[in-house]
Structure 1
Amino acid sequence: MAKADTTSLARNSGGAIPFGYMTLIAVLTACGLYAAFIVAPEERAVAQQQLAQEIADENRAFCETFGMRGRTDEFRACSEQLAIIRHKQADRDRAAEAGIL
């Protein structure tokens, strides 16, 4: 009888993945796919919208400091110049990160 028990144990542990581990892997994979394809794009869109709002608020605060009210040509020009400054700063940051500067 003892011999039958050891052979059945050897047969059951012969490289097969237990059902519990397979279920865990399936659940973790499903959660990862959900996060990658459903949640991440939504969060990215919300973050981009928040960034755009923060930049608009900064532009308004900066340009209004110099007497340029919103929806005027002067305000538009001020906002465009600030966008150029931000772009150049981002270029400098990328260059520094790459070790060029």
Structure 2
Amino acid sequence: MTALRLFLPGDWLSVWRILEPVFRAGETYPYSPNITEAEARVAWIDVPAATFVAVGDLGEVLGTYYIKPNPLLVATKEPRHDLHTFTAIPQLNGVLLNVYF
């Protein structure tokens, strides 16, 4: 069974193995395909409000997502009902899943 939990520092190498090929492809995220591992860690772990991982029965990291304020909402001075408060961008076995809250 797959479970979701908060990212732990020891998860990083597994998370990076999932994210690196996606970032290198340059087709999904607004990050440079040449992003370094250190830059990716800042963008995926340090900047978001929270980062989560999906783990399998043996504790292996199967996917990841983060939650951070929607930059469009933050930049808007007036409340807008068409903008989401948080966006989660999960990866599960390298497949992008878009989930909006």
TM-score, normalised relative to structure 1: 0.25
Bigger Rg, which one: 1
